[in-house]
Homo-oligomer: A and B are copies of this chain.
Amino acid sequence: MDISTVNALTYEEFVELFGNVVEKCPIISAAIWSHRPFKDLTDIEAHITEFIHSLSDSGKEGILRCHPDLAGRDLQSGTLTRESREEQSQAGMTTLDSAEILLMHRLNSEYKERFGFPFVICARLNNKADIVRLLSERLKNDRAAERELAIEEVKKICSLRLHNIVLSGIQTKL
């Protein structure tokens, strides 16, 4: 899909296609549609980043709270978004043994108790061992540092989802 195809989308088509590049935050793609025409994919990413950085600390925490736990309830009950399911699967979260599931549950709970938002990491760029290690390490951060670090992960997830849509869009979506 080239950028002229993206720029020709109605807002409904655009939100349908890009609405989940930031997990469960279709408002973000819906908002940046106002900035068409986009020069390229980097320009779309820049507008998304601008939107995210314009939010207050609580707004950024709002984005994080729209994310599911890794190897958590939504994975067990089959209620993950398609994108999250694929990412968690790729990072090995769907094939944990029962001890690993319990460990993830304990670490996720500690993290949420400490920060008031879930542990967010770009699962496509980390394997199972990385995730457990980083979750344990990041538990030691203070809330402000951890919020910023998690938002950087949101931007990595978003970038990979965007590229995935635009590349696969050539064959399937449009």
List A residues at the B interface (Cβ < 8 Å): 10-12, 15, 24-35, 51, 54-59, 61-66, 112, 116-117
Q: How far is the CA of A59 from the CA of B30 in the complex (A)?
A: 8
Q: How many copies does the complex hold?
A: 2
Residues of B within 8 A of A24 (CB): 26-27
Which chain B residues lie closer than 8 Å to A62 at the CB level? 27-34
A30–B120 alpha-carbon span in the complex (Å): 15
Query: From DSSP, what is the main secondary structure of chain A's interface residues?
Result: helix
15 CB contacts below 8 A, A to B, read A10-B112, A15-B66, A24-B27, A27-B27, A30-B64, A31-B55, A31-B58, A31-B59, A31-B65, A32-B58, A32-B62, A34-B116, A51-B58, A51-B59, A54-B59
- In Å, the complex CA distance between A27 and B64 comes to 9
Flag if A27 contacts B66 (CB, 8 Å): yes
Q: How far is the CB of A168 from chain B (nearest CB, A)?
A: 23
